[in-house]
Structures are given as structure tokens and as C-alpha cells.
Amino acid sequence: MTKQAAPDAPIGARRGSDVLERLRERPPALWYRGERVLDVTLHPAFARGVSTLAELYDLQWQHADVCLFDSPTSGRKVGRSFQMPRTHEELRTIGRAMRTWADHTYGMMGRAPDYLNRAITAYAAGASFLAEADPRFGANALRYHEHLRERDLSLTHTLIPPQANRAVGPAGQADPFLAARVKEETDAGLVIRGCRMLATLPIADEIMVFPSTLLKGGDEDAPYAFGFVIPSDTSGLKFICRESVDYGRSHFDHPLGSRFEEMDAVVIFDDVRVPWENVLLYRDVERCNRAFARTGAVVHMAHQVAVKNVAKCEFVLGLAHLLVDTIGVERFQHIHEKLAEIWVNLETMKALLRAAEADASLDEWGVIRPAWNPLDAARNLFPRLYPRMIEIIQQIGASGLVAMPTEQDLKGPLADDIRHYYQAARAEAFDRIPLFRLAWDVSMSAFGSRQVLYERFFFGDPVRMAGALVTNHDAELRALAERVRELVRRGRDEAFADISRQPGEE
Ligand SMILES: Cc1cc2nc3c(=O)[nH]c(=O)nc-3n(C[C@H](O)[C@H](O)[C@H](O)COP(=O)(O)OP(=O)(O)OC[C@H]3O[C@@H](n4cnc5c(N)ncnc54)[C@H](O)[C@@H]3O)c2cc1C
């Protein structure tokens, strides 16, 4: 008989059964429709998303050469997304490992744990930036990264204050404890009270409570400025989950929602005790404002996002093409235009990803960091591309997206009618119907709309992301403007060369 490891013992890369076992032993503090969820592996709102999460961990063992590497401290096989890449080849392999997971969910579980594994790995690599504020914080980042890597635990994260009054920051809200803030500082650590949004994948083992990647705090926000990590079952922590987009139906009826529900939750901190060992940033607003950029965490996260975008574009393009073929609309010109549009989106995402990996360079922490500009372009572009691609699915699918019987109908007394009347140019009814149910699930169901909202917002408000982009590229934009100014001046000088008085001169 194999000896069972202690619940928190380091075991290296996990398998699906380890993931399920840990969630049963240490259930995250999830609340769903008024009740505490006691076992996410059985609860109908969560169980099938959890099961897909577990599949990802089995998958990493099936592709161990890509998805795992040897731990630098223990020699165990550990998840590739915890690796600090020192060479371009290592970075590309991390990309391939992330692709293995993204393909498994067709990009529909954006919050596969590799996303935040990349973040915490970057924070550990940039530990000296954290240590400048307090040597303990740098040591904490390194120790925590190792803790996570050697146990292969998953993370969720929450970065922004609750959506109460967006005209003011966390310090300006009606109640100073609306946004999560430090209530008390003790010898043992911090006591946190208040609320944060929004934790996707609250079925994760631990949570990163960090500053925003985008929003900048002011001096008054010091009590709200921190970065810490705690287990998701910490006393006083509560995740209020949204209604599940898994309707509990069959894979036939609800092909995406029945598999890829990653869930989102608002997080409440009811005097949560955070030991100093878990703190990485504290009260240093300026450092919090810079942390994601300076450590490179935002870049490594955006790398995972670009990989996911490619997988998602491929899925939508394949789906669109199959719809076109099935109902015989392939000869219409606007259909070509629409398929071409999705293809261009796919090639754009592939090119940006490839550029980010090819132009990666050694950063100040000795890590090969993907090039930021292509990833910044991808994260600014995709929130517009994805909703448009979903619009195209609606435009191609048209009434077929509602003329869509269920599995029960197909097994009911009208089965013969359905078989006859739901036939398509190139598919029998019983093949056409699940295809259109898939198109419905990506474009119209609660699952599909949540995906669109996710792509619009998860990396931050696109409006403010664009603002940050313009500010960050100020010098580049000015240099380009100067070249144009020169051309304008040349034309002006040529036009007025033969008269002594220059325009504007009295
Ligand atoms: C499905 C989903 C999953 C998410 N997952 C996570 C997660 O795992 N972790 C996490 O931390 N966050 C997550 N987020 C939250 C995400 O970071 C925010 O949605 C994003 O930062 C925008 O903030 P908000 O939703 O509060 O919108 P708000 O800031 O409330 O904005 C509402 C509207 O007002 C406009 N607006 C507000 N303020 C300004 C301003 N100053 N200037 C211009 N326009 C403004 C916005 O453009 C927008 O149109 C998720 C969001 C979604 C939708």
C-alpha cells in the first residue's frame, strides 16, 4: 500500500486526484446562494469546473517533458509555469506548456493556474525589489514561490476595491472599511477588514491579495496598499460566488458550461489575520503602484493570456468554419469576409505571441522576460476582437442558434420529426444540433456572455489600459510626431521659400 503524504507535504507536480483531495480536505471559504459550500468537488455549481481543473493536472503528467521540469531545490518534477526562464528556449517551453492547458479548455478557462503561477514566479524573481522596502518581504516571496511550486498549489487573486463609488479611490469611500484595509498591525502580522473584487477561480487553494496591475493609489491609500498571500480557507475569509453558469445539463446540451465553469467571487475579509511571513508589500503606495511592472509579473501573466488568446481564436475560427460548412453558406462573400476577419485575428495573436517570445530579453532579475510591447498590444486588442468574433458567430448562426432542441427532445416522441427537419446541407440532424448548441453556448448562454465580459475586463478596464499605454509610450509617440512635424515644416518652408515674410510673422 502506498503511504499517503501529509496534507501539506511537498509532493511536486500534482495529479488530478491530488487536487480533488486537497479541495476536500481544505475547502476554500466559498458561499453559494446563501450557503457555505462544504465540498466543491461534489457541489453541482462547481464540481464539473473542478473536475476540468483536475484534468489539467493530469494533463501535465501526460506531457511531462513540456509541462514539468526539475525543481532547482528538491529535484522533484514540478509545474513548468513555476520556472524562472534563464534562456529563450526555456521561455518558449513555458509557452508550450501553457498552450497544452489552453488547448484542453479551448481557451475557455482563462484562469488556469498557470496564469498566477507566472505572476508569483515573477514576484520571486524580483524579490530584491520587494526587499528594498523590507528584507523580510523579499525572503517571503522566495519562500512562498517555493512553497507553491513544491506543492503545486493553485492561486486566485483579487486586486481591486468593490464597485461602490468609482469617482473616488478606496480611501474616499463612504465607509473606510468598504475596501479591504489594514485594521490592525501586530507583532504577528496584519488584520484585514473589508472587501475586494473579483476573484476568478475561487476554487483555488490560495489567494493573492495584491495591488491593481493598472489602478494607481495616492498617499491617502496607504492602509489599502499591500500584497499578501493566504490559503483560501483562512478564518474570516469569505468568497461570495456568482450564480454558476453550469446549468447542470449534459455535455450535449451545454458543451462549454458543463465543462469550463471557473467561477468568480467577491472576497470579504472579516478580520483576517495575515502572518508577516505571508506579506510581500505593505503601506508603500508607490512600490505597490510599480510592483507588477517592475517585477515583470504583468508581462509573464500577459504571456499566458496571449497563449490563451491563440487557443481561443483557433476554437472560434474552427467553429465558424464548421457552421458555414454545415448549413452551406460558404459561397456568400460576406461569409468569406467574416471568416477572414477571425483568421486575421488569429494570425495577429500568433504574431504578437511569437514576437513577445522572440524579442524576449534578460531583465534586471536575470530572467528572460517576454517583450512587453507585443503583449501590451495583444491585451489592448483582444477585448475588442473577442466580442466581435462572438458577434460573427451570431451573424453566421442566425436563427439556428435558437432553433435548437435538447438532448431530451432528441430522445422524446418527436425524435423522428427532429431528425427530418433539423437536417442540414452537410450534417444529419443529430450532428447539426450539438454543433449549434456549441455555437449557442459560446455566443448566447450565460457561459458565453460571461466569457465576453471576461475578455472585456479581466486584465483591467480597457479605457484605462489604453490610457496607461499612451502614457507609457509617450517618448515613442513624441519621436514619431517629431518626424511628421518635420515633413509638415518642410512643406511649409518650400511653399514660403520665395517670400521673405514667414507665415505667422507680422
Ligand atoms: C469576468 C471577470 C473576471 C475578473 N477576474 C478578476 C480576478 O480574478 N481578479 C481581479 O482582481 N479582478 C478581476 N476582474 C476585475 C477586473 O479587474 C475589473 O473588471 C476591471 O479592473 C474594471 O474594473 P470594474 O469592473 O470595477 O469597472 P469600473 O471601474 O467600476 O468601471 C465601470 C465603468 O466605468 C468606467 N470608468 C470607471 N472609472 C473610470 C475612470 N477613472 N476613467 C474612465 N472610465 C472609468 C469604466 O470604463 C467602465 O465602463 C474580473 C472582471 C470580470 C468581468
Average pLDDT over residues 175-202: 97
Decide if 98 contacts 186 (C-beta within 8 A). no
- pLDDT tens, residue by residue, 352-362: 999 999 999 99
Examine the pLDDT at 440 and tell me if it is beyond 80: yes
Examine the pLDDT at 501 and tell me if it is beyond 70: no
Residue with the smallest CA separation from ligand 1 atom 38 is: 166
For ligand 1, the distance from its centroid to the CA atom of residue 456, given in whole angstroms, is 9
The pTM for the full model equals 0.96
Q: In the structure, what pLDDT confidence band is assigned to residue 213 with cuts at 50, 70 and 90? A: confident
Examine the pLDDT at 337 and tell me if it is beyond 80: yes
Query: Ligand 1: which atom is nearest the Cα of residue 457?
Result: 19
Average pLDDT, the chain: 96
At a CB cut-off of 8 Å and minimum separation 6, what does 359 contact? 370, 371, 374
Assigned C-alpha cell, 121: 514566479
Query: What pLDDT, on a 0 to 100 scale, did the predictor assign at position 2?
Result: 44
Query: Ligand 1: which atom is nearest the Cα of residue 461?
Result: 22
Q: In the structure, what pLDDT confidence band is assigned to residue 438 with cuts at 50, 70 and 90? A: very high
Examine the pLDDT at 3 and tell me if it is beyond 90: no
Query: What pLDDT, on a 0 to 100 scale, did the predictor assign at position 506?
Result: 54
Query: What pLDDT, on a 0 to 100 scale, did the predictor assign at position 502?
Result: 60
Examine the pLDDT at 18 and tell me if it is beyond 90: yes
- pLDDT tens, residue by residue, 282-309: 999 999 999 999 999 999 999 999 999 9
**Residues with C-beta less than 6 Å from any ligand 1 atom:** 157-160, 163, 166, 197-200, 264, 450, 453-454, 457-458, 460-461, 463-464
For ligand 1, the distance from its centroid to the CA atom of residue 454, given in whole angstroms, is 10
Q: In the structure, what pLDDT confidence band is assigned to residue 215 with cuts at 50, 70 and 90? A: confident
Q: Which of 275, 293, 357, 377 is nearest to 122 (CA)?
A: 293
- pLDDT tens, residue by residue, 378-430: 999 999 999 999 999 999 999 999 999 999 999 999 999 999 999 999 999 99
Q: In the structure, what pLDDT confidence band is assigned to residue 448 with cuts at 50, 70 and 90? A: very high
Residue with the smallest CA separation from ligand 1 atom 2 is: 454
Average pLDDT over residues 249-270: 98
Residue 243 CA from chain centroid, whole number:
20
Q: How far is CA 213 from CA 167, 217, 290, 294, 458, in A?
A: 19, 11, 8, 11, 11
Query: What pLDDT, on a 0 to 100 scale, did the predictor assign at position 7?
Result: 63
Amino acid identity, position 376: D
For ligand 1, the distance from its centroid to the CA atom of residue 409, given in whole angstroms, is 40
Helix (H, G, I), strand (E, B) or coil at 179: strand
For ligand 1, the distance from its centroid to the CA atom of residue 211, given in whole angstroms, is 14
Q: How far is CA 33 from CA 197, 274, 451, in A?
A: 18, 28, 21
Q: Calculate the dihedral angle through the C-alpha atoms of 209, 211, 213, 217, rounding to the nearest 10 degrees.
A: 160
Q: State the burial class of residue 255 (Cβ atoms within 10 Å of its Cβ: 0-12, 13-18, 19+).
A: buried
Assigned C-alpha cell, 489: 515644416
How big is the chain by its Cα radius of gyration, in Å? 25
Query: Ligand 1: which atom is nearest the Cα of residue 158?
Result: 11
Query: What pLDDT, on a 0 to 100 scale, did the predictor assign at position 499?
Result: 77
Average pLDDT over residues 333-337: 98
Q: Bridge partners of 182?
A: 192
Count CB-CB contacts under 10 A for residue 70: 12
Query: Ligand 1: which atom is nearest the Cα of residue 156?
Result: 8
- pLDDT tens, residue by residue, 30-67: 999 999 999 999 999 999 999 999 999 999 999 999 99
CA dist 78 and 355 (Å) reads 27
Amino acid identity, position 243: E
- Rounded to 5 degrees, φ, ψ at 309 are -60, -40
Query: What pLDDT, on a 0 to 100 scale, did the predictor assign at position 504?
Result: 60
